[in-house]
Structure 1
């Protein structure tokens, strides 16, 4: 038969186990929320998965080596926009700043807010492709029937020609994908659920 001292000791032990379990679960939840931004920081720092480097510094200056940059425009099914590259392939010198344009249009009867992600292929080139300015990760709102040109300023690091993994690459593809923002999708869903009576006066 357990004495009061035994029961107190067991209770303290169970409390410590429960606390440890709670701390472990809380830590795992915290890590899951931190995983996305940490992964994004890792990709930006290393160019992993074709993530382009974002730099405010100007291009270092053109070298003799050239590379062709292609531009791809992708629309996610969540956003009812028209989206395309404003030009065909562009040949630039390594170290030379280039400027390209994308075009987006909203053919719907209501405003739509979108945001773009990007990457380059071959993925190994990501660490050498630098963007000075672009429209990525910032919400863009187009009113009904509105269109917009979105510029991208970039340069390709001359060090690409020194890397055994990239020195033979002659063509790079820069891809942008537009998504509808979560807030705008929720707003559109709420309006659709409310039906045609939204905005009518209640009699």
Structure 2
């Protein structure tokens, strides 16, 4: 005996189509949010200083406090990028609000050109909202020829408003840290670096504010 073919009510079929459409829309929305999450998070960090993200400004401070603060500089290379990367000087002491210029130095020790991009942060992380950079090499694609050495300046000042924050009012030291990563497709295929002498020494630590 054959089973009768089930009859689906038109309203039920319509409900199923609506449910299926909603599921597809939800899935597409989640995918879109995943792609947008990184740039939105980066924008949030830049605006708020969250996670030690420094601020980018176009003008110098118009107020300088009679109070010293020491800025320490850290440099790292990751992802197999064949570079020597270091600050020209390990620290500098400036007045809060004083604009200063320092430099990092990068050298390609591989036998072929290679390219990298730097990320950065400061510690303590709360200080990120008050560490203002007028000039910086961060997030800029940089390509170095074999043996090439490059001077990478950073112009910055610490916002005087930092002393108004209870958690930072007695701060004495801030550490600025950069990490260079290889740009996609720019990593060398071999791992035996060939050091080549080249490049001029960099003079840094020059105060340009006052």
Common fold: TM-score over 0.5: yes
Question: Who is 1:55 aligned against?
Answer: 57
Aligned 1:1-12 pairs, distance under 5 A: 6-12=8-14
Question: Who is 2:85 aligned against?
Answer: 83
Q: Distance in 2 between matches of 1:3 and 1:178?
A: 65
Bigger fraction of residues in helix: 1
TM-score, length of structure 2 as denominator length: 0.84
Question: Who is 1:198 aligned against?
Answer: none
Question: Who is 2:201 aligned against?
Answer: none
Q: Distance in 2 between matches of 1:88 and 1:9?
A: 73
Q: Cα offset for 1:119?
A: 0.4
TM-score, length of structure 1 as denominator length: 0.87
Decide which of 163, 168, 171 is 1:169's aligned counterpart.
171
Q: Distance in 1 between matches of 2:5 and 2:134?
A: 73
Deviates more, 1:139-148 or 1:60-69: 60-69
For the residue of structure 1 that corresponds to 2:89, the secondary structure is: coil
Equivalent pair of 2:63/2:160 in contact (CA under 8 Å)? no
Q: Distance in 2 between matches of 1:113 and 1:60?
A: 37
Any unmatched runs of 5+ in structure 2? Answer: 191-210
Q: Cα offset for 1:168?
A: 1.0
Equivalent pair of 2:130/2:159 in contact (CA under 8 Å)? yes
Q: Distance in 2 between matches of 1:35 and 1:69?
A: 32
Aligned residues: 187
Equivalent pair of 2:111/2:147 in contact (CA under 8 Å)? yes
Decide which of 25, 30, 33 is 2:32's aligned counterpart.
30
For the residue of structure 1 that corresponds to 2:186, the secondary structure is: helix
For the residue of structure 2 that corresponds to 1:182, the secondary structure is: coil
Question: Who is 1:104 aligned against?
Answer: 106
Question: Who is 1:197 aligned against?
Answer: none
Question: Who is 2:76 aligned against?
Answer: 74
Backbone CA RMSD of aligned residues = 1.6
Q: Distance in 2 between matches of 1:3 and 1:107?
A: 74
Q: Distance in 2 between matches of 1:43 and 1:86?
A: 27
Q: Distance in 1 between matches of 2:23 and 2:80?
A: 40
Question: Who is 1:124 aligned against?
Answer: 126
Equivalent pair of 2:108/2:147 in contact (CA under 8 Å)? yes
* Structure 1 segments (4+ residues) deviating >4 Å: 1-4
Question: Who is 1:195 aligned against?
Answer: none
